[in-house]
Amino acid sequence: MGAPDASDTERFTCAQARTDTSEAVLPLCAGLAEPLGRRLHEDALLIASELASNALRHGGGLVRFAARAHDGALVIEVEDASPEEPLLRPHDPTVPGGFGWLMVNNLARSVTVEPHGQGKTVRAVLDPASYR
């Protein structure tokens, strides 16, 4: 059996990011009414998947992924191997994709990009209070 191809690696990595994020966000969802907690959980999973996928597809590889509750918010951090900042692209209905970075920026309370050395860290913060 050979090494997994890139799509298998991406599926595994994104799945692990969703698992880690789910574990971190569930305690924050507990204080919300059921539909709002579910929405926070789904938004967190979307952001985690998108950031991990972007690191693999556009960022030269995923170096580190972390999801944690901090000061009552969920912090999702992805470090990749490219110092290039993600770009918001204008919508072109003839080209597939291109919505992920916009989605991350719309769902998160804040998104920061910190270039360092040969890579960068992208940090998205979700605030459970905004789901009340």
Q: At residue 39, what is the residue type?
A: R
At a CB cut-off of 8 Å and minimum separation 6, what does 36 contact?
A: 131, 132
Give the count of beta carbons closer than 10 Å to the beta carbon of residue 122. Answer: 23
What is the domain range of residue 82?
Answer: 6-131
Mean confidence (pLDDT) of the chain: 90
Tokens of 112: 């920061």
| Count of domains observed in the chain | 1
Give the per-residue pLDDT at 6: 52
Give the best-scoring range by mean pLDDT among 58-62, 73-77, 83-87.
73-77
Q: How confident is the model at residue 10 (pLDDT cuts 50, 70, 90)?
A: confident
Q: Give the residue, 24 or 95, on which the prediction is more confident.
A: 24
Does some domain include residue 1?
no
| CATH number (domain holding residue 81) | 3.30.565.10
